[in-house]
């Protein structure tokens, strides 16, 4: 039973409509959008990452799932491995700062001690209030325009900097450590999106999931991917850099399939919102990449398999 088998087995267990087939960012139960993410030291964060940023990020990545469903954050339950007093205090500083920033109430959870030397494991369950519409990953149709809110590659570039130099700093490192969930944009887009999800594991991998859920393929214009100035300064914007940005992960951008007739700039988006059309959904047949020079072969690795469901 490999990871795909585990997910397949979980999907066979999860037959309730609230589960959305475990093929979405979150569950939808009686008006609550509910998600859970667990992160582990050495897998999802670096042992030397500042604990306050890990606390912040744990909240933010869950809220990004709520953002992708257009939900308003409401409450969270925290699962926390404790042990090192200074670390724990700083981690809770980050949890508290993120909860305050996004108006989410900590309402419960569990603290556990792990055996000595075990990597830290931290989890958060977030509940949000569903809006009028809660777009799934599965509603996309051929011809829908694919909009990307946010920028790509910053976090992966920041992580690469940190791997080379643990004391690295700057906007790319900030993006890796303190992602910002795009709650207001998600709420605005949810009113019109046929399908929506957050881009957390790499654009191409997440797009592949949206395509699979929607029974579509996609044509993507690599030149259209929104890149930040900091990213371009660090990595450039040639094809290789764009493929890095499209597969790096930890972006917490939003990917929305909108009918071609909808102009998302007519929605009440926060100002400024970085948003671009990066392609269109097509009939089933996989993802096709192109840039100004012509077709681009799909990379072997589409993103980072966090095993999220």
Secondary structure, 3-state, 64-124: HHHHHCCCEEEEEEEEEEECCHHHHHHHHHHHHHHHHHHCCEEEEEEEEECCCCCCCEEEE
Please report, as residue ranges, which positions from 117 to 146 form the binding site for its own copies (by CB under 8 A).
118-119, 121, 123, 125, 127
Element (H, E) at 255: strand 253-258
d(CA 269, CA 256): 14
Q: Per-residue contact track with its own copies, 78 to 117, x per CB under 8 A?
A: xxxxx--xx-xx--x--xx--x-----xxxxxxxxxxx--
Residue 163 near its own copies by CB under 8 A: no
Residue 16 near its own copies by CB under 8 A: yes
Element (H, E) at 59: helix 51-68
- Our CB check for its own copies shows the closer of 57 and 306 to be 306
- Nearest Cα neighbor of 105 from 134, 68, 71, 77 is 77
Residue 267 near its own copies by CB under 8 A: no
Residue 214 near its own copies by CB under 8 A: no
d(CA 92, CA 51): 8
Phi, psi of 189 (to 5 degrees): -70, -30
Question: How many chain residues interact with its own copies (CB under 8 A)?
Answer: 68
Residue 18 near its own copies by CB under 8 A: yes
Which residues form the interface with its own copies (CB under 8 A)?
1-3, 5-7, 9-10, 13-16, 18-19, 22, 26-27, 29-30, 32, 34-44, 74-75, 77-82, 85-86, 88-89, 92, 95-96, 99, 105-115, 118-119, 121, 123, 125, 127, 306-309
């Amino acid at each position: 039973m490999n990871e795909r088998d585990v997910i397949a087995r979980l999907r066979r267990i999860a037959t309730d409509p609230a589960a959305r087939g475990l093929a979405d960012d979150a569950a939808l139960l009686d008006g609550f959008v509910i998600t859970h993410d667990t992160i582990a030291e050495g897998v999802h964060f670096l042992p030397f990452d500042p604990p306050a940023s890990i606390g912040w990020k744990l909240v933010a990545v869950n809220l990004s799932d709520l953002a992708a469903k257009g939900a308003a954050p409401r409450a969270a339950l925290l699962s926390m491995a404790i042990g090192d007093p200074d670390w724990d205090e700083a981690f809770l500083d980050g949890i508290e700062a993120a909860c305050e920033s996004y108006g989410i109430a900590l309402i419960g959870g569990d603290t556990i001690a792990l055996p000595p030397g075990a990597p830290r494991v931290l989890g958060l369950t977030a509940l949000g209030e569903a809006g009028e519409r809660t777009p799934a990953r599965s509603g996309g149709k051929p011809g829908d325009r694919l909009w990307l809110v946010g920028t790509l590659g910053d976090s992966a570039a920041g992580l690469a900097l940190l791997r080379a130099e643990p004391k690295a700093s700057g906007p790319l490192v900030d993006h890796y450590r303190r992602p910002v969930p795009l709650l207001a944009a998600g709420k605005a887009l949810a009113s019109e999106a046929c399908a929506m999800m957050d881009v957390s594991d790499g654009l191409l991998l997440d797009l592949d999931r949206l395509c699979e859920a929607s029974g579509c393929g996609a044509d993507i214009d690599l030149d259209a991917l929104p890149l930040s100035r900091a990213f371009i300064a660090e990595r450039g914007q040639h094809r290789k850099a764009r493929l890095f940005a499209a597969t790096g992960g930890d972006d917490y951008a939003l990917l929305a399939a909108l009918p071609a007739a909808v102009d998302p700039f007519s929605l009440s988006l926060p100002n400024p919102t970085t948003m671009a059309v990066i392609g269109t959904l097509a009939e089933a047949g996989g993802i096709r990449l192109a840039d100004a020079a012509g077709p681009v072969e799909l990379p072997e690795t589409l993103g980072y398999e966090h095993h999220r469901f």
